[in-house]
Amino acid sequence: MKDKYVILTGSKNNAGDFLIKYRAKQLFSEFRTDREIIDLDRWVAFDEETLEMVNSSKALILTGGPALQKHMYPNLYKMTDLEKIEVPIITMGVGWSSKSGDWSDTYTYEFSKQTKELLDRVENSGYLSSVRDYHSLNSLHSNKYKNFLMTGCPAYYSTEHIGKDFETYEIKKVAFSLGVSFNHSKGMEKLLKDNILQCKEYFKNESFEVVFHHSIDNQKRDKGVSKSLFDSQKKIQKWLDANNIKYTDISGSAENLMNYYSNVDLHIGYRVHAHIFMNSIAKYTILLNEDGRGKSIKNVIGGITIDAYHNYNESYLVRKLNQLYKHDKYIPNTNLTQQLLDEIDYEKMIDSNRYKISRKTIDKNFDIMQKFLQQLP
């Protein structure tokens, strides 16, 4: 009988979260064939039976997502009292969460007392842990945590594509993914709509479709989608209908995401894991950054990413203004659409050079991911 790892994952509705879980399990199945994987939802507290299962495993592995937050424990990882967990606690591909996403934020990134207790356990586990980008790594370094590798997100790694060169091809189908910033900002909503309309016009001779990663199905509203985001998406759905723009919902599973984007030639949009997946299978993609998750990708694999906003204001004054009336914290990048279209034209001129470089960088990061996997208990 195999020894096992217990992994805690965070997939509820967002297709990208399911992709992280899918690819992480795939990596374990290929590179740690000596271990069985037990997958648990991170938001469920341990009962006695679960605790016994964890303590009979080789390690508890906190897997993927923007979980490296101030209240990481116990808000995101419910688990149980840390002193009751007897096995090493290790992170795999977790990332920071920052609206502004500036590198300077990594020097002042805060963790609560309880989160530090968890990170102390991770730091002193006797094993290296993993984060998904250099912003996350420096946030940990700034808090004196050094026992981490930058492996990239597990979702970067399609092992059948490792070592293969990027090959150019004709674009026939374009997908535009929706983010979430439009739910909080009228300026970002206007920018989103402008981008969709102009991209649809630019690709008028190709198939063009908007993609929802969170569900717009009324029957799935309570499964991992806030009421606010769901309502905002329904308004976007009505707007798309009014403008005769096709759309699709791929929420709910990794297979939905993979099957859909495998048949897309170019992804444009805000969804980080659509961008990661397209890079992983050597396809064209342009990420429009709406927070620190997107901004951090540039340092990890290069490629083409564009900031959709100039600033996100979290000052004390703005927070107070928000108590009086809905003040827009975002300053959108009104040049975004033109820059986006210019990037597409330029990449044609240079024979997709940045995509070729990005493909090679993923391969080199994969060496570090393998190092992480092989040193696990």
Q: 195 Cβ partners below 8 Å, 6+ apart?
A: 176, 268, 288, 336, 337, 340
Q: Regarding predicted confidence, which is higher, 345 or 322?
A: 345
Determine contact, residues 43/83, Cβ cutoff 8 Å: no
Mean residue pLDDT across the chain: 94
Enter the CATH code of domain 173-360. Answer: 3.40.50.2000
Tens of pLDDT, residue by residue over 263-309, are 999 999 999 999 999 999 999 999 999 999 999 999 999 999 999 99
pLDDT, tens digit (0-9, with 9 covering 90-100), for 157-193: 999 999 999 999 999 999 999 999 999 899 999 999 9
Task: State how far the Cα of 314 lies from the Cα of 48, in Å rounded to an integer.
Answer: 41
The answer to whether domain 3-160+363-374 has CATH 1.10.10 is no
Beta-carbon contacts of 116 under 8 Å, excluding residues fewer than 6 positions away, are 143
Chain-centre distance of CA 145, in angstroms?
Answer: 22
All CATH 3.40.50.2000 domain ranges of the chain, comma separated, are 173-360
User: Is the confidence at residue 223, as pLDDT, over 90?
Assistant: no
| Token representation of residue 373 | 């996997």
pLDDT band at 315 (very low <50, low <70, confident <90, very high): low
Confidence of residue 317 (pLDDT cuts 50, 70, 90): low
Among residues 199, 277, 265, the alpha carbon closest in space to that of 16 is found at: 277
Q: What per-residue confidence (pLDDT) applies to 125?
A: 98
The string of pLDDT tens digits covering residues 226-242 is 889 999 999 999 999 99
Q: What pLDDT, in 10s, does the model give residues 5-53? A: 999 999 888 899 999 999 999 999 999 999 999 999 999 999 999 999 9
Three-state DSSP class for residue 43: coil
pLDDT digits (tens, 9 = 90+) for 134-146: 999 999 999 999 9
Q: What is the mean pLDDT of residues 100-116?
A: 96
Question: Cα separation of 268 and 339, whole Å?
Answer: 13
User: Per this entry, what is the length of the chain?
Assistant: 377
In three-state secondary structure terms, 192 is helix
Backbone torsion region of residue 350, taken as left when φ is above 0, otherwise alpha when ψ lies between -120 and 50, otherwise beta? alpha
Three-class secondary structure assignment of 160-225: CCCCCCCCCCCCCEEEEECCCHHHCCHHHHHHHHHHHHHHHHHCCCCEEEEEECCCCCHHHCCCCC
Q: What is the DSSP string of 104-121?
A: GGGGS----HHHHHHHHH
The predicted model gives 63-74 an average pLDDT of 95
**327 or 13: whose pLDDT is higher?**
13
Q: Is the pLDDT of residue 325 over 80?
A: no
Q: Is 87 helix (H, G, I), strand (E, B) or coil?
A: coil
| pLDDT over threshold 60, residue 222 | no
The answer to whether the CB of 102 falls within 8 A of the CB of 138 is: no
State the pLDDT at residue 80. 84
- What is the mean pLDDT of the segment spanning 298-323? 82
Asked, as a colleague might, if the bond just before 66 is cis with ω within 30 of 0, I would say no
Q: Helix, strand, coil: what percent of the chain each, to 5? A: 45, 20, 35
